[in-house]
Structure formats: C-alpha cells, structure tokens
Amino acid sequence: MSEYRGYTGRSLTLLKDCKAKVGDTVRITGELTYTGILMPRYEYNDDEHIVLKLKSGYNVGIKINEIKKIEVLSSNEIKKETLQSHPKNSLLPKVLLLSTGGTIASKIDYRTGGVTPALTASELHGTIPELSEIANIDTEVLFSEYSENLLPEHWKKITEKLDSYAKSDYKGIIIAHGTDTMQYTASFLSFALAAFPIPIALVGSQRSSDRPSSDATLNLISAVRFVIECNVRGIFVVMHHNESDDLIACHLGTRVRKIHTSKRSAFQTIGGDPAFLILDKKIQKNLDHEYFKNKNYSPKINYDAHVVLVKYYPGFDPKLLTTIIELGYKAIIFEGTGLGHIGKTLYESVKKAKERGLFLGMTSQCIDGRVRMTVYESGRDLLNLGVIPLDNMIPETALVKAMWALGNTKNVDEMKSLMLENIASEITN
C-alpha cells in the first residue's frame, strides 16, 4: 500500500496501530522526542526502523524498540504531482522530445531503494520550465525501460518513429534514453537514418531527476539548445563533458562510448574530440567537415540480430565459436588484442565459420588506435582465413553496424562492402 511504502513486519504493524501513514506529521517519543514527516522506506531494508524527515531537512531513523509513543499531529495526503502547463510561443522553434526511460526519466523507488523509470516525456519537460524559454516542446513516450532492457527491436521502433517525422517542421528531435546502452542505440540510428534532415540528440543522466546532484536538467536544456542552433545533420549523444556544470559535450553517435560507471562525465568520443561543445550557452563546432554534406536521406531500418561480439582472451575455448556457428549466427565481430589478433587455437574454428559463410570482422580491445593485421604474422594468418579488419571502428559500433548491414543486404559480399563503407563517421581519419 502506498500509505505505508517500504514498511513491513513490526514497523508496519506499529504504524497501523498508531494510525500513522507516510506523509503524516508525527511526534515520536522515546529516549528523545522527534517531530517530523513520516517518510517511506526501502522495501529491501529491515523492519526495525521508522524514518522521519525533520524540520532541518535531514532524515533520521528511529529504532522501533526505543519508541514509546507515536502521535499523529496532522495528516497530509500524498497527492499526485501537478505539472504546470507551458503555453506555446509562436516565435520559438519546435522540438520533439521522445522518452524511452532510463535514469533521466526516473525517480527514487522506495520499494527497492533504487531508481525506476517514472517520468513521462511530458513530466520530464514539466520539471524543467526553462525549456519553454528556448523552444516549443512536444512530447511522446515510446517506452519506459532501463536501457539494458532495450533490444534491437526497440531500436527499429525508435527508428520508425523518427522516420515518420523526417518531413515535419521540427527543428530537431531529442530522445531521453538510459546511459548504459545509449551508444548502441545511437549507432543503430546513425546507420539506419544516415543523413536524416534534422539533428537528433540522445540525452541521458547519470543521476535521477529528483536528486540535487542530477545532471538531467543541464543535459536536456543543452540538447534542446544544440538541436535548434547547430544547423547540422546527424545523430549525437549529449552529456556532461566533465564534472563541472558549465561544459556539455555533443558526441557523434558512432564514435562515443560510456567509459565510467557513475561519473556525470561518463561519455567520451573515442579517437578524437567531441563533435561540439556547449559552454555558457555557446556552441563550439569541432568537426572539420560538414556531417553528411551532399548526402541524400534514404532510410534503411531493417536489422538481423544474428551477430555476436566475441571478446578474445587467453584460454578462450574454441568450442564456443563452434557453438556460435551451430546456433545459426551469420556474423562474428571479434574484439581482438592489440592490432587485431586472436590466438591460433581458434584458427580451425575461424576457418569453419568462413566455410559456413559467416562474416568475420576484427576490432581491437584497445580504447584507441586502429586494427592493422599486416604487421605481424598472426594477423596475416587471420587475413588469409577471411577475417576483415574494421580499422578503428569501436567494437560495439561494429556489432550494431553488422546487425544493420546484415538486415539490409542479400549476401555476405554485399555485407562486407557495407561494413567497409564509412556510413556515419564510424571510421575516422
């Protein structure tokens, strides 16, 4: 029940006996006397404490064994938040905000003690009134999922929705997305919607919107400012550039990787600088070329998920590759060592995969640099076995591109040609 959120066992019984509910102002008498608002608890915590928010703003946990009396001073029914509506300004550009879930659209969940997808796109907009001073925001919810739950089929649904707005009068489109798999979604959109006529920015946050340290507000405001002012086509990831609140980075969707679990500056462009930086509301362009210049928009939104990313390590069992082949996978992206190597114990399995018609691509486990398989004998052996070097393509990007290429070609030869073509700056100079 919401009026006793997170309370179980003995603490729940005590509250019910005293007719005290979450949100009530109560006085608890024990060894000391406390007055405050009864707060919800995390369901997975013990049942031996009651939590009050004191007038000072601090929370205090009180052991129920020390409680002599609970008095309800006032009953405050918890009401659903009402968000202020934002009138449209005909002088401002239009931006579409799509929500898929993730931390940026989350709040604290007192059932688990973690954060859970809770905000709709409209609510997310409503919590940041500054957005209405920049653009007229239309909102739509596509999903409400943590990003680890998003599958290639979700990528396609996002792509289809975006394609339906290709001829709209929006200045740009924002996608609120969880950070954990944002780089995968950004990569798929980059290939499927290459040369989309308006900018698309994926934006997330490392901390939920209701936390004082949240990066959601600045990231979202910056993303909106970016899509209406950048005057460039492409798919971008817009997130904090460092731990301060004054610099935002706009990364190319195919060159970005999440490199930290919890820092607000979790994302980094691999092999170069971010495409754009936003400092004090000013957008600095770092690209030395016009993204998708002179390219026509021709969406290719199919995919085939029969692709696997194999990270090589010493002791890798060749039987795993055999199993992948027998399961009917059609492509393998290797994340090899150094310049693009895997151990010779896998050569027979690689040969079998090639004979079965699988596409075999090589990337590197190194954070930066290029695959060069002609330097060492082992690399040349793999080339002779049919492994295709994928230059400095990020392994995750290569995986997504292979799914996309496989779904939009008729055979492995066509797929190979598409994998080696630089579609969306996935390969850099």
Kindly list the catalytic residues. Answer: 103, 179-180, 258
Instruction: Classify 68 as helix, strand or coil.
Output: coil
The C-alpha angle 91, 94, 95, rounded to 5 degrees, equals 145
Could you tell me which of 402, 311, 322, 333 has the C-alpha nearest to residue 356? 322
Given a contact cutoff of 8 angstroms between Cβ atoms, the answer to whether 23 and 127 are in contact is: no
d(CA 292, CA 107): 38
**Which residue bears the tokens 């997975």?**
44
Neighbours of 410 (CB within 10 A): 7
Contacts of 414 (CB under 8 A, 6+ apart): none
Q: Which residues pair with 49 in a beta bridge?
A: 63
d(CA 321, CA 351): 11
For residue 81, which amino acid is it? E
d(CA 206, CA 178): 9
Given a contact cutoff of 8 angstroms between Cβ atoms, the answer to whether 161 and 252 are in contact is: no
By DSSP bridging, strand 25-29 and strand 69-74 are: antiparallel
Could you tell me which of 188, 189, 184, 187 has the C-alpha nearest to residue 173? 189
